[in-house]
Amino acid sequence: MKKNILLIAATAIFLACSASNKEKEEEVVYTGPVIESEALSFSVDTLATGLTNPWGMTFLPDGRILIVERPGHMRIFEDGKLLDEPVSGLPDIWSHGQGGLLDVVLHPNYDQNRWIYIAYAARGNQGDTGNTAISRGRLVGNRFTDTELLFHGQPHTDRRQHFGARIVFDEDLYMFFTIGDRGVQNNAQTLSNHNGKVLRFHDDGRIPADNPFVNATGAMPEIWSYGHRNIQGMALHPVTGELWSHEHGPQGGDEINIVRKGRNYGWPLATHGINYNGTIVSPDTTLPGMIDPVLHWTPSIAPCGLAFVDSDRFPEWNLNMLVGALAGQHIHRVVIRNNEVTHTEKILQDFARFRDIRQGPDGYIYVLTEGPGIFFRIIPR
């Protein structure tokens, strides 16, 4: 029987914290309220509450989970509890408007090198200005050590919006990273800055020699693709290995794209959105030489967080994309066949503002929300 999602949400917030992260072969027995979706029945297993603007998470091999909060805290979830004491030793985080501590990922060879990468807003050298940055370090006990600044986006500005930011490694150890247009629309079409772009690096921050604009006069050599407004979700397809992203439009025009080398994704010259005051951004929704989105949302759902499902715990959702929605306050399940969207479904409508979604090493789906700040996982029933 269909459950009232608002009742489910209220119930979930007050559920006791579950046991710690399980080994993949161990099934979780959970008796919470059952939620019926089109393809799957599931429950919400609340792990922690009281988080402040959580933005990203990653899973350590020892079962601990790192969660970053935008105001500048890295928290550890261990043995079924969110530890009170934040990780110390982080670089200076510029908590400025939409900026702050925004993502955390492990190096693909973490077992050998112990590198942890963070994306965050960092100040520059001139007053209260800055841009999005990447640093890496190692976690020793409760302290972030051996910190290296790998990249700091240019130019620096005091604007408070569109910092991005997500980090994704591919199987060749290339690191992809997003920065939004920082509130200046034409930044996205200008190759002389990093804003409104997907960038590509080696794992130590060096610039790959085969990046598309390495030899272009006046272009930033880190650029992989451009014409993006503000990407806050990015992941590799589990089968094809292609890089997929979603990005915020203004009022309408949120997009899903396949991110490819050297391509122009149109913003602000081609868009399905309009300005927040109702004026036209562009009369064009498509233009020659620019890539049209695989899917666009109008009105906006404000997408944030993206994960592909390939866990055998969720065969009904196999290779589906899960997208968090901030304004929409739901998870958007996107069915993709041959790089085309064939179906969508809204899950957990009106639950909260969804900020990040990841498939954990145990095969369950882990989710962060804000307003309220909840950490939970989805358990199939």
Is 19's pLDDT higher than 60? no
Phi, psi (degrees; rounded to nearest 5) at 271: -160, 155
- Tell me the sheet residues that pair with 322: 307, 333
Tell me, what's the pLDDT at 29?
66
Q: Please answer whether residues 252 and 274 qualify as being in contact, where contact means their C-beta atoms are separated by less than 8 angstroms.
A: yes
Q: Which two tokens stand for residue 63?
A: 């079962």
CA distance 232 to 164: 5
CA atoms within a 13 Å half-sphere pointing along the CA-CB vector of 125: 2
Does 237 qualify as catalytic in the annotation? no
Condensed to tens digits (0 to 9), the pLDDT of residues 301-348 reads 999 999 999 999 999 999 999 999 999 999 999 999 999 999 999 999
Neighbours of 193 (CB within 10 A): 23
Mean pLDDT of 125-147: 97
Mean pLDDT over the full length of the chain: 93
Whole-model pTM above 0.75? yes
Q: How far apart are CA 191 and CA 219, in angstroms?
A: 5
Single out the catalytic residue among 96, 156, 162, 332.
Answer: 162
Nearest 5°: phi and psi at 317? -110, 20
Structural domains in the chain plus CATH codes: 5-380 (2.120.10.30)
- pLDDT one-digit tens code per residue, 175-191: 999 999 999 999 999 99
- Whether the predicted pLDDT of 7 surpasses 70: no
pLDDT, tens only, 359-373: 999 999 999 999 899
| Lookup: tokens for 122 | 């960092």
Average pLDDT over residues 61-88: 98
Over 70: is that where the pLDDT of 377 sits? yes
Judged against a pLDDT cut of 50, whether residue 358 lies above it is answered with yes
Token pair of 376, please? 């939970």
141 Cβ partners below 8 Å, 6+ apart?
Answer: none
Q: Is the pLDDT of residue 23 over 90?
A: no
pLDDT of 328 reads 95
- The reported pLDDT for the residue numbered 28 is 79
DSSP string, 291-350: PPPSEEESS---EEEEEE---TT-GGGTT-EEEEETTTTEEEEEEEETTEEEEEEEESTT
**358/138 Cα distance (integer angstroms):** 22
Side chain identity at residue 259, one-letter code: V
Average pLDDT over residues 253-280: 98
Cα angle 265-365-56, degrees, rounded to a multiple of 5: 55
For residues 119 and 164, give the distance between their C-alpha atoms in angstroms, rounded to a whole number: 9
Q: Does the pLDDT at position 265 exceed 60?
A: yes
Q: What is the mean pLDDT of residues 196-208?
A: 98
Q: Would the pLDDT of 12 be above 90?
A: no
